[in-house]
Amino acid sequence: MRAKDTKARIESKLLSALESGPATPMTARDWKPITTEGLERLRANKKVGESLTDDGPVKNSRHL
């Protein structure tokens, strides 16, 4: 995807968010599916012998 297209997509999403109304605080109920998905992704990465660091995927890392 070209940079111009990417920028237009991001700007569209930002405008949509601004027009959707005032922000609301995140609750424990909001965070639950986000946390669950994150933990599932970590488990999937560990199953294939990878973990993510700032440098990208590292085989058999003990950072996590």
Cα separation, 30 vs 37, whole angstroms:
12
Overall pTM surpassing 0.85 (yes/no):
no
pLDDT digits (tens, 9 = 90+) for 23-33: 999 999 999 99
How many structural domains compose the chain? Answer: 1
Is 9 contained in some domain? Answer: no
Region for 49 from its dihedrals, namely left if φ exceeds 0, alpha if ψ lies in -120 to 50, beta otherwise: left
Is 5 contained in some domain? Answer: no
Is 6 contained in some domain? Answer: no
The contacts of residue 44 (CB under 8 Å, 6+ apart) are none
Size (the chain), residues: 64
pLDDT score at 64: 46
Is 54 contained in some domain? Answer: yes
Q: Residue 48 — very low, low, confident or very high, per pLDDT cuts 50/70/90?
A: confident
